[in-house]
Amino acid sequence: MLSLSFPPPKVEAIPFYSNTGRQVFVLRADAIDPVISGNKWFKLRYYLAEAIQQHKTRIVTYGGAFSNHIIATAAACKAAGLACTGIIRGEQPLVLSHTLLQAQAMGMQLYFISRQDYAAKPVPGWVNPTTDYCIAEGGYGKTGAAGAATMVAGIEGFTHILCAVGTGTTMAGLITASPGTKVTGISSLKNNTALATEVAALTGTPAANVDILHEFHFGGYAKHKPELLFFMNKLFEQTGIPTDFVYTGKLFYGFHELLRQNYFVPGSKILLIHSGGLQGNLSLPKGTLMY
């Protein structure tokens, strides 16, 4: 059986913002586990439960060489006693990324496909529908959103929730779990305007009501600029909160901009979702970040 369970993530006030006239809190989902950090375990939980219920023995999923989803899947499958295979975007490199090495060390079998094939994501011929359970890239889907919703179980009273957006599955879960709270997503991708529709498809709300901001991507997915890294170090100095450069650094940066633009009326009570991803910072040159 699935032997994975974590205490619910803590909600912490961030005193640094106390003079802004807004109450600012952070959900420290990054702190639940060093490997399966953040939103990934929550997104995976019901997929894995369904796989076990259907007597599947192997999980097959998709991701890039630095994917938090890949590493979380490897760790969760190990804990659940399921075999797993990661279909990785791009030809096999001579030297594997630390993410893939760690996934492999936890028992994940890696299968590399060309970027063109990856874009089409055909279900490989070797997938056996009787024994294998496929999870979409990034855990996208209603089952993933239902799991992500449990990340904020019992948490209420916020006027706003802000989260980083990749596939939008986490945002969809937060929207479903928090009626009456305005959920705003900060996209980590460059101009992926299909995201609102993809989130809407998981929630049943009209895409026009899905609020995703597209101006804080710093060049695109997994791209960064000195300004972002400088901000992340500064944020750590000011608040003690470490962020990752792919998702949560951009989230907090966007949040600072929105504060400045008076996006939140005075008296707002804001919850930032720290969705984890810190392992990704290992791909930066040593010393780039102070934490």
Ligand X SMILES: *Cc1c(COP(=O)(O)O)cnc(C)c1O
Q: Give the residues lining the site for ligand X (CB under 6 A).
A: 38-40, 43, 68-69, 138, 164-171, 244, 247-248, 275-277
How many angstroms from the chain centroid is the CA of residue 101? 20
Nearest residue (CB) to ligand X, 131 versus 189: 189
Q: Are the C-beta atoms of 164 and 275 separated by less than 8 Å?
A: yes
DSSP state of 209: G
Minimum CB separation from ligand X for residue 136, in Å? Answer: 10
Nearest residue (CB) to ligand X, 157 versus 219: 219
Which amino acid makes up residue 31?
A
Minimum CB separation from ligand X for residue 176, in Å? Answer: 13
Distance CA 254, CA 266 (A): 18
Nearest residue (CB) to ligand X, 245 versus 262: 245
Q: Are strands 109-113 and 83-89 parallel, antiparallel or unpaired?
A: parallel
Q: Are strands 182-187 and 160-165 parallel, antiparallel or unpaired?
A: parallel
Nearest to residue 151, comparing CAs of 40, 247, 68? 40
Helices (H) and strands (E) in the chain, counts: 9, 10
Nearest residue (CB) to ligand X, 18 versus 166: 166
Q: Are the C-beta atoms of 66 and 97 separated by less than 8 Å?
A: yes
Nearest residue (CB) to ligand X, 15 versus 140: 140
Minimum CB separation from ligand X for residue 278, in Å? Answer: 8
Nearest residue (CB) to ligand X, 14 versus 189: 189
DSSP state of 86: E
Minimum CB separation from ligand X for residue 265, in Å? Answer: 26
Position of minimal CB gap to ligand X: 277
Nearest residue (CB) to ligand X, 82 versus 278: 278
Minimum CB separation from ligand X for residue 239, in Å? Answer: 17
Both structure tokens of 209: 């009501």
Q: Find the helix or strand (DSSP H, E) in which 272 lies.
A: strand 269-274
Distance CA 4, CA 193 (A): 35
Minimum CB separation from ligand X for residue 57, in Å? Answer: 26
Distance CA 264, CA 82 (A): 45
Minimum CB separation from ligand X for residue 189, in Å? Answer: 10
DSSP state of 35: S
